[in-house]
Amino acid sequence: MVILFSFVYVIRASERHNYKINIDYPVTDYKKLNRLINKKINYYQRLFLKEIKDSDVIIWDYYTLFINYDSYTYNDIISYVFFVEYFVGGAHPNHDIFTVNYDTKSNKFIDVNSVKNLNEISEYSRSQLIRDKRVVDTGMLLDGTKPNKENFKNFVFTDNGYLFYFKRYQIAPYSSGDISLLVPYSIEKGKWLAFLFFIFVLMLFLIDKYY
């Protein structure tokens, strides 16, 4: 069972600061899961308040911290992706993403260490994302999809596969927004490479036969 609470804080400081904090987060039946979510939410609140503490923002402007989320379930796993937006001055707000995956049967968290065959996932991601019009810099794409844990740490479990989230500036410019990609579970098992090998062999056969 998952219960949604939406907390909205609106605080106007009379002397120096105006700011608004708006956070939506789930409260579940699992205390261990709730503690981790609260810990992460509190981290962003503390960071936000620390950054604006000594700021010289003009009085009629607002600093803002917004956090919302999406939820997914797959077998015994509950997954959440949290979207963080905070403005503490500058040309535009800053954005961050973090995910939480919890196995309700084993009462354990699942992170990127449980994801196998990052090489295959990396290659598949590149082959799909290169077609996305928001991806305009091949260098950013290649760097942001290198087969390492940092690049693929933000993911959730869905019925159809892993849903990986890429932060702004990771594979595309800020203006492209956050980008996600569904990767079928079969890719992790190596079927993607087997398919590529089949295509390669087929091409060799056709070249030998017709050319």
Give the number of other CB atoms < 10 A from CB of residue 151: 21
Question: In whole angstroms, what is the distance from residue 103 CA to residue 99 CA?
Answer: 14
Type of residue at 169: Y
Which pLDDT score, from 0 to 100, does residue 66 have?
A: 94
- For 6-64, write each residue's pLDDT tens digit: 444 444 443 456 788 899 999 999 999 999 999 999 999 999 988 887 666 555 567 88
Which pLDDT score, from 0 to 100, does residue 49 have?
A: 87
Residue spans of the chain under pLDDT 50 = 3-4, 6-15
Which pLDDT score, from 0 to 100, does residue 15 have?
A: 44
**Nearest Cα to Cα of residue 171 among 207, 130, 114, 110:** 130
- Give Cα separations from 198 to 32, 185, 189, 194, 207 (angstroms): 46, 19, 16, 6, 14
Q: Which long-range contacts (CB under 8 A, 24 or more apart) does 50-54 make?
A: 51/88, 52/17, 52/19, 52/88
